[in-house]
Amino acid sequence: SGASNYHISEQLQKMLGINTETVSPGVFRARFHPEDVMIYDALEGTMTNTRSGDHTIHSTEFRMLAADNTYRWFQFRYKVNPGKNRVIADIGGAVLDITSEKEKDILIEKMAYIDDVTQIYNRNKFMQIGQETFECYKEVNQSYWIIVLDIDNFHIINDTCGYLNGNKLLNEFGQIVKDTLSKGGFGARIGGDNFAMLVHDTGDETLPVTLIKKIQTRLQEVSSEFLMHQTVTCSAGYCKMSDGGDNFAAILDHAEFSLSMSDGTKGDIIRYDNKVHERILAGNALESELAHALENGELVLYYQPKINLTDGTLIGMEALIRWIKPDGTIIPPNQFIPVAESSLLITDISKFVLHEACRQNKKWQDMGFPPVTGSINLTAVDFYQTDVKEVIQGALTETGLDPQWLDVELTESLALKDIDHAIQQMKEIKELGVKLSMDDFGTGYSSLSYIQVLPITLLKLDRSFIMYLEEDEISREIVSAVIRIAKSKKIETIAEGIETVGQAEILKESGCDHAQGYFFGRPMPVDKFEEFMAMKCGMNVNA
Ligand code: C2E
Ligand code: MG
Ligand code: MG
């Protein structure tokens, strides 16, 4: 076809700024926009290959150099009438300048798919390309890495350096992502300070980490230039398309889940782990079930007696929570308190326990039982909450229980998390007139010297010391030493988990003040505990 020339209409001559009725295909092709040359080649193919009798109307769009020597968009609608021997084709058609429509389309595309701040693609586009890639992966089994990145402490940068610098950082980040992907791949800003990348899986398992580290290095260089020499890092989560997921949204979700596992401050790089994800999802399911249980009244308190070892009287009871499901199964606290602790639920549960234990204790006093101390357990989450004092005061006021009959049990690991803060909180709680006990003493890493600085009234020796008291000389020595030191500090002692009369006797001989355990009574529901108290009173009256 190179030998033939095109006859072009007057109108087209004007459009293209050509003052000749014929041009060679070579000249024509050279006027095409480099990215549209393949359209020209396709067009030429159609012209030479059309058989006579084919009256198809073709339509194509391309950019070509126009009269003003800029590229303009043209639409070409044509029909081919093959010439004899296919030498010269007669092409009937019309050329339209559609530049302004095209520019509108591009603008719309841009608005829909380009992120304003960074000028790179946005989440919509990432999802679209991602889904296409995913379908392609299913066809030809060509996998991709999905990487999501988050600028660490971006809100602090925004606060300290200003919104404009924040935007500048996002912009730089976008550029870094783009540069890092220059050898193929797709990048986007998928929201806030989150960016995402789609990278061809070449079989190199270290590729994502290599790329992420490159980005982290560049980020540090760039940020120190204009962010007052702050070191900016980014954290990342990633996964491989072939590692599972029913669609691209699910796969991106995996990468974002991994990112959420980082603490978001020090450039963690975390690969998606299915098992971790499942565990968290199960935890979430339990969490929402638990929230429901609380509203539904499925959480109830059992009470376990505390006994004075010298005279056998009842000195109090510990409220121990139980989750009783509608079908009657009882779930012990160790199975749901940790879940509640990792969510905000614990606060509500503790408020419930506090209120319910105070209310019940006051009720027993009003029924004529001799007043005793009711203990509740608080977790670190509750304890370090600034309003813990107000919450306790509120429960006392609402139920009318005198503060001296409430005892708050705290674990030593809780107190040691932040010792100064702990002392402060404990003092405030004690000022209410409430007692404070150190639960599970001996299980943590604390030494007895801590007892001196913590304002506690009572030390609860952990069950692990009590268990081998009868067989183990060392346990006996430790226990009596602890009791002795506590006494010298005017701190009372109680032993928990006493199951045998032998253990009770050894503790009594060692000078332990009180005791709690199955030997004296198991945790019981309200009605059973009432019977227990009635029996105890009776016994004491008769003794
Ligand atoms: P804890 O405060 O040290 O409570 C003592 C645990 O030892 C209770 O387990 C009790 O049933 C058990 N126990 C008592 N005597 C004996 C005994 O003689 N032998 C044996 N083997 N065990 C004995 P429970 O009720 O399952 O509670 C476990 C833990 O769950 C508690 O340890 C406490 O840390 C936590 N917990 C219970 N109720 C609450 C609550 O209302 N709020 C919070 N935050 N934690 C609670
Ligand atoms: Mg306790
Ligand atoms: Mg304990």
Q: How far apart are CA 82 and CA 51, in angstroms?
A: 6
Q: What residue type is 188 in one-letter code?
A: A
CA 78 to mean position of chain CA atoms: 57
At residue 543, the pLDDT reads: 34
Binding site membership of 237 for ligand 1 (Cβ less than 6 Å): no
Q: How far apart are CA 357 and CA 529, in angstroms?
A: 13
Q: What percent of the chain has pLDDT over 90?
A: 58
Binding site membership of 379 for ligand 1 (Cβ less than 6 Å): yes
State the CB neighbour count (10 A cutoff) for residue 313.
Answer: 16
Distance in Å, CA 181 to ligand 3 centroid: 56
> With contact defined as beta carbons under 8 Å apart, do 182 and 210 qualify?
no
Binding site membership of 374 for ligand 1 (Cβ less than 6 Å): no
| pLDDT tens-digit readout, 135-160 | 888 878 888 999 999 999 998 888 88
As a whole number, mean pLDDT of residues 69-92 equals 78
As a whole number, mean pLDDT of residues 440-459 equals 78
Distance in Å, CA 320 to ligand 1 centroid: 6
As a whole number, mean pLDDT of residues 37-46 equals 84
Strands of 90-97's sheet, edge to edge? 57-65, 71-81, 90-97
At residue 2, the pLDDT reads: 43
| pLDDT tens-digit readout, 505-540 | 999 999 999 999 999 999 999 999 999 999 988 744
Binding site membership of 412 for ligand 1 (Cβ less than 6 Å): no
Q: State the burial class of residue 290 (Cβ atoms within 10 Å of its Cβ: 0-12, 13-18, 19+).
A: buried
As a whole number, mean pLDDT of residues 475-488 equals 90
Q: Is the pLDDT of residue 458 over 90?
A: yes
Binding site membership of 499 for ligand 1 (Cβ less than 6 Å): yes
Residue identifier of the C-alpha nearest atom 19 of ligand 1: 497
Give, for ligand 1, the residue of 290, 320, 350, 408 to mutate: max count of ligand atoms closer than 8 Å to Cβ.
Answer: 320
Distance in Å, CA 474 to ligand 2 centroid: 25
| pLDDT tens-digit readout, 243-282 | 889 999 999 999 999 999 998 888 999 999 999 998 888 8
- Rounded to two decimals, the pTM is 0.62
Binding site membership of 208 for ligand 1 (Cβ less than 6 Å): no
Q: What percent of the chain has pLDDT over 70?
A: 96
Binding site membership of 377 for ligand 1 (Cβ less than 6 Å): yes
Q: How far apart are CA 491 and CA 404, in angstroms?
A: 16
Which ligand is located closest to the Cα atom of residue 523? 1
What count of residues does the chain have? Answer: 543
Binding site membership of 353 for ligand 1 (Cβ less than 6 Å): yes
Q: What is the atom index within ligand 1 of the atom nearest the CA of 333?
A: 30
Distance in Å, CA 359 to ligand 2 centroid: 19
Distance in Å, CA 364 to ligand 3 centroid: 24
Paired with 302 in beta bridges are 320
Q: How far apart are CA 463 and CA 484, in angstroms?
A: 18
Give, for ligand 1, the residue of 377, 381, 441, 503 to mutate: max count of ligand atoms closer than 8 Å to Cβ.
Answer: 377
Q: Is the pLDDT of residue 87 over 60?
A: no
State the CB neighbour count (10 A cutoff) for residue 463.
Answer: 17
Residues with CB under 5 A from ligand 3 (ion): 439-440, 496
Which ligand is located closest to the Cα atom of residue 516? 1
Q: What is the atom index within ligand 1 of the atom nearest the CA of 378?
A: 44
Binding site membership of 428 for ligand 1 (Cβ less than 6 Å): no
